[in-house]
Structure 1
Amino acid sequence: MSDPLSGLPLSSIRVFEAAARLNSFTRAAEELGMTQAAVSWQIKALETRLGLSLFRRLPREVRPTEPGERLSRAATEAITILRRAFAEVTEVDQGVLTVTTLTTLATQWLAPRLGTFQLANPGLAVRLDTSPTIVDLARSNVDVALRSGDGEWPGTEAALLMPSVFVPLCSPVLCATLNLQRPEDLLDAPRVGDEKEWAAWFANAGVTPPTTPATRLRADIQGLEVAAALGGQGIALGSPILFAREIAAGLLTRPFPQTVTLSQGYWIAWPEDRRRSRKIARFRDWLLAEAAADPAIIAAL
């Protein structure tokens, strides 16, 4: 039986995979550093060799045909495996660990601890990516992700890092000014953050949520909302784990003990096919040990 890959250049498979994944010859050309005409020519040559139409040409995009879809899935998986294999044997890659993480988790919890990891691993540099885009670990060169959710992401394995608990936080001056005595006192207080999250906290505290919004500010990043609370602008829902230092220093106060859980936790995740990568294993083991020893996490469990 003849080899169906015989005579098929890897470059044409790579071009086909990018075009199918992006649904565009133009975007595939941009990703691969080629011209759109070169991409179109390689796809046409591949279709001619296979005797199959791999794409439906639409006015503004291309879509894989049924055989094209089957080949696309296999090509993406194969190229991902090749990319990982080359990355793991490349000395430069072994010297850099790329971590995608939530901004507040990075600034409030991870960054202050990274020094101890780097002292123990002087040959390994850590690069933090705090882009809000959720990175597909199975198709990228990112090594580790720290994210919030249920711990279930395709192509990854994950371990729970810490619970996702939130409490009202404000400056001591504002707490005294408002004379906060009971959870229902927050109904008329200036609040910062998402009204749905506040409604969940009020419900946990046994208080009927307000019918009219009273939030002054809402941000996509928890750290920005708590920064407003630090400045005396209102009461924010924040993590007592991530802001444990500010609470201990008296910069923030936690007027009430009631908490609300907004997700199933913060997790460390890594590609399942790279679980044995030495740099990933070193970082994972160190991070989980740091979390297990954190008094704020222990108190929240």
Structure 2
Amino acid sequence: MQSSLPPLSSIRAFEAASRHLSFTKAADELGMTQAAVSYQIKLLEETLGLTLFIRKTRRIELTEHGAQLSSKVVEAFEDLKGQNAAQLVVSSNTTFAVNWLANRLVHFQMQNPDLAVRIIPYGPNARPEFFNSDVVVSACKAPPKGWIAHELVRADFTPMLSPALAETIGGLTCPEDLLKLPLVDAHDPWWKIWFDAAGMTEVDFSAMPRTRMGSQALEANRAIAGQGVAILTPYFCKTALDTGQLIQPFDLTCRADSESWYLSYPPTTRTSRKIRLFREWVYGELEKDGMPLPSQSVVSA
């Protein structure tokens, strides 16, 4: 069954044109051509069976029907904008949500009490809510083409374990000692990279149990519980390291050059107040932690 409702593009064009009383100014606001706006208005008029504008030389005027519709549409758009401006929806990788945002978000909310923040964490086999969120914090998931992305944390990694587990073999004195203990997610490619860098290029992972947590937050919890040695990013385990829940037995830390955590959003919202506030707050928190900040954003290819 075909819908009798006019397309949203026509309503948007009408809303802008009725405010500006100009197809040209409406086109500039919406990033469209004047001809495209005129076409959308004509399409709306045909759908409704009403004349909404009187076209005069160099100007337009609203008809009585147009004025009635304008007051309703403009009010509806303003209400929607107000509701949207008051809520910030963040889709976040589980590790960043659990090990970073959860411990800090209260400070952002105290600084910005007019904003209601909603976090949507996504698991290892899911994709970020790119089109249902205001901003996305992703790891290993590229944002849509043309989006603005800010690198937050680089993917550095090294083995970590609980002190109690280390004591079961009398402590770790060399990388070979790690193979005396179970490895959490032994088939994670980070393990091979780290062992190769440690000079242990012949480690055979094929016989090791296949467990795939897919999230550092989950892997760190297993390591804290003494269930094995996990390969983790030190920055996201700072609290566990500081409190002695985890230890980093070796100084060797490796880097996955193509992997980072990114904050991203569409270019159409780059000047949004709530996104600017959140971005600046995240950067401020990273700076407090002594983390390097990128000098500029990148546009997703």
TM range (shorter): 0.5 to 0.7
Q: C-alpha distance in 1, partners of 2:262/2:107?
A: 20
Q: What is the TM-score when the length of structure 1 is the normalising length?
A: 0.66
Q: Counterpart in 1 of 2:139?
A: 148
Q: CA deviation at 1:231?
A: 1.0
- Answer yes or no: is 1:208 the counterpart of 2:201: yes
- Pairing 1:1-301 to 2, within 5 Å after superposition: 9-10=6-7, 90-132=81-123, 133-135=126-128, 137=130, 140-149=131-140, 153-178=144-169, 179-195=171-187, 196-211=189-204, 212-215=206-209, 217-262=211-256, 263-295=258-290, 297=291
CA RMSD between the two structures: 2.9
Q: CA deviation at 1:277?
A: 0.5
Deviates more, 1:154-163 or 1:202-211: 202-211
Q: C-alpha distance in 2, partners of 1:200/1:213?
A: 18
- Percent identity reads 35
Q: CA deviation at 1:264?
A: 2.8
Q: Any unmatched runs of 5+ in structure 2?
A: 12-42, 44-76, 293-301
Q: Any unmatched runs of 5+ in structure 1?
A: 1-6, 15-45, 47-85
Q: C-alpha distance in 1, partners of 2:78/2:122?
A: 22
Whether the 8 Å contact between 1:188 and 1:214 is mirrored in structure 2 is no
Whether the 8 Å contact between 2:163 and 2:247 is mirrored in structure 1 is yes
- Secondary structure of the structure 2 residue equivalent to 1:128: strand
Q: C-alpha distance in 1, partners of 2:163/2:249?
A: 9
Whether the 8 Å contact between 2:143 and 2:264 is mirrored in structure 1 is no
Q: CA deviation at 1:166?
A: 1.4
Whether the 8 Å contact between 1:164 and 1:264 is mirrored in structure 2 is yes
Amino acid at match of 1:185: D
Amino acid at match of 1:92: Q
Q: What is the TM-score when the length of structure 2 is the normalising length?
A: 0.66
Q: 1:270 to 1:226 in 2, by over 3 A?
A: same
Q: 1:152 to 1:94 in 2, by over 3 A?
A: closer
Q: C-alpha distance in 2, partners of 1:210/1:87?
A: 62
Q: 1:271 to 1:227 in 2, by over 3 A?
A: same
- Secondary structure of the structure 1 residue equivalent to 2:240: helix
